[in-house]
A and B are shown apart, each in its own frame.
Chain A
């Protein structure tokens, strides 16, 4: 009987197999989502994004931020958490918006959705972001992975759940992600101009959302200390200069400027400026407080959409009794700080590019206030690096499965019996429920993936250390033998 050996795949073929698995998984889920959407007149899709009930107004983060950016008291009164660059971007946008909308009371700003100028600006913003994402990912995949499958992979990333959710919210995190992606992909480019541009790009990414600043550690890992110093300088300029602009603008600083610099778009400012002067704690303190709020939990129970490890502490909490809420909060904080320290430490031991990027992404997404379904767009960066990794092993099937679950738009399989499912879920499990399968599973899958990666890095690091020690023991003898031989030859 002739034994047939299994065909041995080379690295490229193995990688292609993984990519095809991802694409097939993605396409099947997307197709099922669409079919459910057609049958339910789109309700099944809205539920995936926003849960049951009437869908909220789309793109609200975008026009709410434009509203906030148009005010001179952006930090002192509205408690804005956006860094100055993002706010400057929205202030610029507010200059092209109908002024009457900006003078409305806050609860009526949904009318911006029907405004021609706002929507055209948002449409062009989305097109530019998605086009840029496609170009960067396509270039990366074509040069380092499978050329034929590159366009399909790029479209999978564009239609991934985090990106779709981000566009639905109108959140500017997608811009921050793209700037960070450019830095990660181009920081080792052959052209020095492109490399410099990548450092500036990271500075702007940090200026848009602060937490991408953590990616600067990649330069330290690459031992590119000059680049790191220059990036810090760029970051400082990019954050400080716009901040000074808002500092000067704020009515609480009592600096008189010509009207062209201070003219905010709304007459409501005149009324609120008086109120702002009364309750003031300074622009700088307000901004520092807003950074501090990043580490506060958004809610006292499971926050779906967040992948922070703190969520695990609240996972089993009974929704009715909310037992041991404070204790769970404390446990969550301990888990958070422990995981951050471990991730940061292991970053310096990680060898593979995708693992380094993934650990930095974890450091960022683990922060409670920064962690959300739309911030998960940052996962596309480690995913792209993972796809382009040349050496693959069996464990990578697990990672690819995790990426596939995190990125694919998962249909709400129980949609047509959701009332029954919800009742059974709550009565038997008694824990928090959300109809979106993506939000329900993302924090478990993400933390699990991260845990396996940590174990792998530790295992490889220690096994390599052991191998090195053995090599060091043997080396002197071998060297001695070689030199004796050499002497004999001479």
Chain B
């Protein structure tokens, strides 16, 4: 008896030690892989005079598109009656942000037509505000990520992991293109980290943060499902929903009432139409900027096998979304739950792009911190995360001309960035692996539950039999 008592803690301790050793090896391998890719990218950037970097982020032909996502949106969101247009969704808080930004710039820049599109790149205030905006967001992201991984013993490893996250390809893509998704990521991360805080004020702030993220980009609303499995879920859920509604509706109604008071109904209708259009599968063919599963049907080998591409793409889209939401409710792993929620919106064709892939960073951090459930199979996930996040050097840049000819001959556009070419494939592969792991975990849980039920039933039967024998 005493020997079994001493064996159990020792076994638990040794398992913990094995898991920690595996964790250390995985983190080390991740850092080495990342740094190698970063240094190689810088080397190739020097050899190509920076063209490999710009080709990787903007494509080969786009020579002036830096920060233009931000500047174009400033011009677009400052137009009057924007909610009358049905072409896209204008999240209300994003409208507030762009309008405030536009208030600090000259009117000739904000209301410029297409010919004056690049004027903001030369403007002192426009560039200064953007640089400080990007810097502050990166600083806050760094602080939040450090807070999440602070349990790692080595300070050097914490610093290196944080550095890797900050210079990861999705984040670089975000800040170089000027995508506001990075701000939504910041607020979503606040929610994911602090929603379980012991401090009531921090918890409340986390719910507000999610509401702000939803106001900026709408799709982070999916993270609200994380509250379902918590204590007092209804109370937290309803409060967060109220915050989201207030932050979404109040600015929306203010803009519509002040700019287009006669057409409130049309504005709401247009916004709903724009929302539904996000799920439309495009027929434009392969788009390496998209991470959606619909892109895969247009990939070189796959498209030759499939005849009705749009139909198959729609089937793939809706079935993957359905699978993700079902598995979310069945999953017991925190990082996989967050991954499945992230998958839900990254997979939507209308919003899927390389910048939104930055939402995979909280998933990676949660995965890296999940030491207790570390298995050998997690090496595959580490490799996938490392490949998706590392800025992979554009090895084939110097053969771009020949490869462009070959790609055009085979009917698809040439993409210089290996990150973009592999990103959607690796992301979908990760989803498939998560699905497999979850299904295995569910089967295992069911089996265990069945065994426990069998033992319970047989135990009850044994007692009944004993009682019967006694009465007899």
Contact = CB atoms under 8 A, between A and B. Distances in A.
Interface of A: 37-38, 41-42, 45-46, 49-50, 55-59, 95-99, 110, 113-114, 116-117, 119-123, 126-127, 130-131, 134, 151, 155, 158-159, 164, 167-168
Given A45-B104, A46-B125, A126-B135, A121 B66 contact: no
21 contacts: A42-B105, A50-B124, A58-B124, A59-B127, A95-B46, A95-B49, A96-B45, A96-B53, A97-B50, A114-B64, A114-B121, A116-B58, A116-B65, A120-B53, A121-B50, A127-B138, A131-B135, A151-B143, A158-B139, A159-B132, A167-B132
B284 interface: no
Contacts of B221: none
Contacts of B142: 131
B392 to A, nearest CB: 17
Contacts of B128: 58, 164, 167-168
Contacts of A58: 124, 127-128
B175 interface: yes
B40 to A, nearest CB: 15
A313 B123 CA distance: 37
Nearest to A163: B132
User: Most chain-A Cβ atoms within 10 A of its Cβ — which of B49, B131, B132, B138?
Assistant: B131
A110 B123 CA distance: 12
B157 to A, nearest CB: 16
Interface in B88-142: 100, 103-107, 118, 121-125, 127-128, 131-132, 134-136, 138-139, 142
Interface in B159-186: 166, 175-176
| Nearest 9 Cβ contacts at the A-B interface | A117-B50, A96-B50, A42-B104, A55-B124, A130-B135, A58-B124, A42-B125, A116-B66, A38-B103
B384 to A, nearest CB: 26
Contact of B66 (A45, A46, A110, A120): A120
Interface string B45-68: 110011101100110000111110
A47 to B, nearest CB: 11
A46 B134 CA distance: 20
Given A49-B124, A168-B124, 17 more contacts: A41-B105, A42-B104, A45-B125, A46-B124, A95-B46, A114-B118, A116-B58, A116-B63, A117-B50, A119-B66, A120-B50, A123-B134, A130-B136, A131-B138, A134-B139, A158-B139, A164-B128
Nearest to B104: A42
A392 B118 CA distance: 52
> Do most interface residues of chain A lie in helix, strand or loop, or is the interface mixed?
helix
Contact of A120 (B105, B123, B143, B176): B176
A316 to B, nearest CB: 33
Given A41-B103, A116-B58, A130 B139 contact: yes
Interface in B11-66: 45-46, 49-51, 53-54, 57-58, 63-66
A129 to B, nearest CB: 8
User: Most chain-A Cβ atoms within 10 A of its Cβ — which of B46, B50, B64, B122?
Assistant: B50
A159 B123 CA distance: 19
Nearest to B159: A135
Nearest to B45: A96
B124 A96 contact: no
A58 B106 CA distance: 16
Contacts of A95: 46, 49
Contacts, number: 108
A122 B131 CA distance: 9
Nearest to A130: B135
Nearest to B175: A123
Given A38-B100, A55-B125, A123-B134, A117 B118 contact: no
B131 A167 contact: yes
Contacts of A158: 132, 135-136, 139
A186 B121 CA distance: 39
A46 B104 CA distance: 10
B121 A127 contact: no
A99 B46 CA distance: 12
B124 A57 contact: yes
A131 B146 CA distance: 13
Nearest to A96: B50
A285 to B, nearest CB: 32
User: Most chain-B Cβ atoms within 10 A of its Cβ — which of A45, A58, A164?
Assistant: A58
User: Most chain-A Cβ atoms within 10 A of its Cβ — which of B65, B66, B67, B124?
Assistant: B124
Nearest to A168: B128
A100 to B, nearest CB: 10
A110 B122 CA distance: 9
A57 B122 contact: yes
A153 B65 CA distance: 35
A53 B100 CA distance: 23
User: Most chain-A Cβ atoms within 10 A of its Cβ — which of B54, B63, B128?
Assistant: B128
Interface string B326-346: 000000000000000000000
A396 B430 CA distance: 59
Contacts of B125: 42, 45-46, 55
B363 to A, nearest CB: 23
A37 B104 contact: yes
Contact of A131 (B54, B67, B107, B139): B139
B442 to A, nearest CB: 43
Given A42-B104, A46-B125, A58-B124, A98 B50 contact: yes
Contacts of A119: 66-67, 121, 127
A308 B128 CA distance: 28
Contacts of B100: 38
Contacts of B46: 95-96
Contacts of B63: 116
Contacts of A151: 143
Given A114-B122, A120-B176, A127-B175, A42 B64 contact: no
Nearest to B137: A127
A123 B131 contact: yes
B49 A99 contact: yes
B107 A41 contact: yes
Contacts of B166: 131
B63 to A, nearest CB: 6
Contacts of B132: 158-159, 164, 167
Contacts of B66: 116, 119-120
Contacts of B123: 55
User: Most chain-A Cβ atoms within 10 A of its Cβ — which of B54, B57, B135?
Assistant: B135
A58 B103 CA distance: 19
User: Most chain-B Cβ atoms within 10 A of its Cβ — which of A37, A57, A121, A123?
Assistant: A123
User: Most chain-A Cβ atoms within 10 A of its Cβ — which of B104, B118, B122, B166?
Assistant: B104
B64 A116 contact: yes
Contacts of A42: 103-106, 125
Contacts of A134: 139
Contacts of A130: 135-136, 139
Contact of A123 (B49, B51, B136, B176): B176
Given A99-B49, A131-B138, A113 B122 contact: yes
Contacts of A123: 131, 134, 175-176
Nearest to B121: A114
B107 to A, nearest CB: 6
Contacts of B122: 57, 110, 113-114
A117 B62 CA distance: 12
Contacts of A167: 128, 131-132
B124 A56 contact: yes
Nearest to B57: A120
A451 to B, nearest CB: 34
A45 B126 CA distance: 12
Nearest to A111: B122
Nearest to A126: B131
A169 to B, nearest CB: 11
A167 B133 CA distance: 13
Nearest to B119: A114
Given A41-B104, A127-B135, A167-B128, A117 B54 contact: yes
A121 to B, nearest CB: 7
